[in-house]
Amino acid sequence: MQTEKLYEQDATLRAFEATVLACEPHGAHFRVTLDRTAFFPEGGGQPADQGTLGEAHVLDAHARDGVVWHEVDRALQPGARVQGLVDDARRMDFTQQHSGEHIVSGIVHRLYGYDNVGFHIGSGAVTLDFNGELAASDLARVERMANEAVWRDLPVRAYYPDAEALAHIAYRSKKEIDGALRIVEVPGCDVCACCGTHVQRTGEIGLIKVVDCIRYKGGVRVSILCGARALQDACDKHDSVRQIGAMLCAKSAEVVQGVRRLMDERDALKAQLDAVWGRVFADLAAQTPEGAPLAVAFLPDLAPAQVRRLASALAERAQVGAAFSPDGDGCRFALCARDADVRPAGKALLGALGGRGGGPRDMVQGSVACADEEAIRAALDAALRA
C-alpha cells in the first residue's frame, strides 16, 4: 500500500497520527512504514526529515515505489497508532533552501536558458549546477531578482495537474518522471517538476544570497544560502569584519584598505630585511680570502632560502661555500660551488652526521642531525677530503 504523503498536501504539517503497517530490522536499527506520513523522504536534492514516531527517533526516510520507509532507533508494533513529530527547524531550513533554489534556477533559466543539472542541500551552502557560464554581473542580477521575488511575498503553488493541463505547462524538469507529475510554481519566476517541500509564500524564504560561483563541468556551480543560513552567514561575516576592524583600528567599511596597507608594509619590511641579510652575507663572505678552498659560516635562525643565499655568497669568494643554521637539535645547511660538484661532499656529510638533503651539482641543501659546530666542521673537512 502506498503511503499517503501528508507533506505534499501541507508542507507546514509537523504533528500527525498514523498507523504502523510494517516494522522490520534494518542494520542496527529498524524501518517502518505507516499508512500516512508527514516525514519527507530524501529526494530531488532535499535531505530526509528527522523527528520522532512515538518513543522512536526517526533518523532517516526513503521512498520506494510510493512507500515511505522511516528508519527508527527502536521497533514499533504493527497495527499501533503512533504520534509523529517532524523536526521543525530542520524542515524549515530545507524548505527555505529548496524554495530559494527554485527561484534562482527559474530566473537563470528564463534569463539565460540554462538548466539546473545538479542540486544539493548539504550542511553548508546549497549548490546549484548550471550547464552554462554565468559572469559575476549575471549572478548579481539573478540575486537581485530572486530577492525581489521574496519581497513581493508571492504565493507558491504545488499541485498535480491532469495530463491535459500538463500538456500546456512549460516546466523545468531534470528527468523524465513516471506517473503523476507534481508541479511547483512561483509566479513570474519558475515552474518546475518537484517532489520537495516548499514555502507557502516566498516571504518565508528570507534573504537569498549567492556566496560562490566556480567553473564546473563546462558550466558553473553556484553556491547559495537562504533564510536562516543566510542570516547566520551574514552574522559570522559581520563579526569577522568587526574583529578585523578592531585589530586594524579601522571602520568596518575600511578594512580592505587597512589589510592592503598592512600587506604593503609587510612587503616593504621583507625587502628591507632581504637587503640587510644581503649585506650580512657579503660581510661574512668578505672574511674569506679570495680563492680559498672553503668558506664556512654558522648563523642561527635562517630560513632555507637564506641558508642557500649565504652559501652562494660564500662561494663567490671560496671554491666551496658552506652555510649552517642551527635549529634545535639539528642544523640546516647548504653547500655551494661555482665550478665543482658538491653532491659527493653533501652525501658524505649526511652519512657522517645523519639527516636528509640533496640538490643539483652546484647546490646541495638539507639538514643534518647535529647542532655542534666543532663536530660539523670536522665532518665537513672529512667530507670534502673524501
Show the binding pattern over residues 44-83: x = contacts Zn ion (CB under 5 A), - = does not. x---------------------------------------
Cβ nearer to Zn ion, comparing 70 with 182: 182
Show the binding pattern over residues 11-50: x = contacts Zn ion (CB under 5 A), - = does not. ---------------------------------x------
H-helix or E-strand spanning residue 51: strand 51-53
Residues in 103-162 at the binding interface with Zn ion, rule: CB under 5 A = none
Minimum distance, C-beta of residue 54 to Zn ion, in the bound complex (Å): 31
Minimum distance, C-beta of residue 3 to Zn ion, in the bound complex (Å): 20
Show the binding pattern over residues 177-196: x = contacts Zn ion (CB under 5 A), - = does not. -----------------x-x
Contacts of residue 4, defined as CB under 8 A and 6 or more positions apart, other chains included, come to 35, 36, 37
Cα(158)–Cα(46) distance, integer angstroms: 16
Minimum distance, C-beta of residue 192 to Zn ion, in the bound complex (Å): 6
Q: Residue 335: helix, strand or coil by DSSP?
A: strand
Cβ nearer to Zn ion, comparing 126 with 310: 126
Cα(386)–Cα(187) distance, integer angstroms: 86
Minimum distance, C-beta of residue 115 to Zn ion, in the bound complex (Å): 13
Cβ nearer to Zn ion, comparing 70 with 102: 102
Size of the site for Zn ion (CB under 5 A): 3
Q: How far is CA 216 from CA 106, 131, 135, 226, in A?
A: 19, 9, 13, 22
Minimum distance, C-beta of residue 92 to Zn ion, in the bound complex (Å): 16
Cα(379)–Cα(376) distance, integer angstroms: 5
Cα(114)–Cα(99) distance, integer angstroms: 18
Cβ nearer to Zn ion, comparing 196 with 346: 196
Cβ nearer to Zn ion, comparing 194 with 225: 194
The count of C-alpha atoms lying within 13 angstroms of the C-alpha of 305, restricted to the half-sphere facing its C-beta, is 3
User: Is residue 127 a contact partner of residue 118, using CB atoms and an 8 Å limit?
Assistant: yes
Residues in 229-248 at the binding interface with Zn ion, rule: CB under 5 A = none
Cβ nearer to Zn ion, comparing 177 with 271: 177
Minimal CB distance residue for Zn ion: 194
Q: Where are the beta strands (DSSP E) in 302-377?
A: 320-327, 330-337, 355-358, 363-368
Cβ nearer to Zn ion, comparing 27 with 179: 179
Q: How far is CA 280 from CA 277, 299, 326, in A?
A: 5, 10, 17
Minimum distance, C-beta of residue 143 to Zn ion, in the bound complex (Å): 19
Minimum distance, C-beta of residue 142 to Zn ion, in the bound complex (Å): 17
Cα(338)–Cα(320) distance, integer angstroms: 7
Cβ nearer to Zn ion, comparing 32 with 194: 194
Contacts of residue 91, defined as CB under 8 A and 6 or more positions apart, other chains included, come to 14, 40, 49, 197
Minimum distance, C-beta of residue 89 to Zn ion, in the bound complex (Å): 20
Contact residues for Zn ion (CB under 5 A)?
Answer: 44, 194, 196
